[in-house]
Structures are given as C-alpha cells and as structure tokens.
C-alpha cells in the first residue's frame, strides 16, 4: 500500500551573526556558472566566481546557484567560513581581509 521513505538532510549553518545582510541580483557572465556560497567578482561582462588572482576585486558571495543567467549575491553580512564554496587555490583566510572591506565578515 504505502511505503515509508526516509530522507536525510545535512543542515549548513551559513549565517554567523546578526550583522545586516544586503543582497543584490546581477547578471552572470555569458557562459559562466556560479555555485551556491561561492565568492564572486563583478566586471562589465557580468558576475563570475572569484579566482586566486582576483581577490582584490571581490563583489560578494553567491546566495544560490546561477539560474537563467542571473544570481543573487550577499554584499554584506557575517558568515561561517567553512560553509563557503571555495574556488580552487583560494582559502578562507585569504578572503577575510578583502571581504572585511566590503562589510562581509567570515567567522
């Protein structure tokens, strides 16, 4: 008759405090994909994931995966560093100073 199913979820604590959170939607660079909770940069071509070379140009953190050519980004707030989706070659410690200038604080 009815089958009992069980699911498991692994919650992720992303917000680390009560610092005001500001978001903004933007267009993703053509052909690029942005992953949820990845540090991003914004250029005239659009938003892309940050690389080790582009940390000085950080814009924010992607709130979700990019869809339909757009993505919402966190521009300020307090977040747990271990919940970030880090690009290859980038560490949370390297992001902290650049994010502080934007009003993003990693714990």
Q: Tell me the domains of the chain and their CATH numbers.
A: 22-106 (2.40.300.10)
Distance CA(51)–CA(89), nearest Å, equals 8
Percent of the chain residues past pLDDT 90, beyond the cut? 73
Pairing status of strand 58-62 against strand 46-49: unpaired
What are all long-range contacts of 92-97, with beta carbons under 8 Å and residues at least 24 apart?
Answer: 94/52, 94/55, 95/39, 95/50, 95/55, 95/58
What is the band of 41 on the pLDDT scale with cuts at 50, 70, 90?
A: very high
Structure confidence at residue 9 (pLDDT): 78
42: left (phi over 0), alpha (psi -120 to 50) or beta: beta
User: Which of the pair, 72 or 12, is modelled with greater confidence?
Assistant: 72
What is the band of 40 on the pLDDT scale with cuts at 50, 70, 90?
A: very high
Task: Supply the pTM of this predicted model.
Answer: 0.87
Distance of CA 41 to the CA centre of its chain: 10
């Amino acid at each position: 008759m009815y089958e009992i199913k069980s699911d498991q979820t692994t919650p992720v604590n992303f917000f680390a405090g009560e610092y005001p959170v500001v978001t903004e939607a933007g267009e993703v660079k053509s052909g690029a994909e942005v992953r949820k909770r990845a540090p991003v940069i914004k250029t005239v071509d659009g938003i892309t994931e940050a690389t080790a070379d582009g940390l000085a140009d950080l814009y924010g953190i992607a709130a979700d995966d990019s869809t339909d050519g757009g993505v919402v980004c966190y521009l300020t707030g307090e977040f747990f560093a271990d919940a970030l989706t880090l690009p290859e070659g980038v560490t949370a410690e390297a992001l902290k100073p650049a994010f502080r200038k934007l009003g993003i604080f990693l714990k």
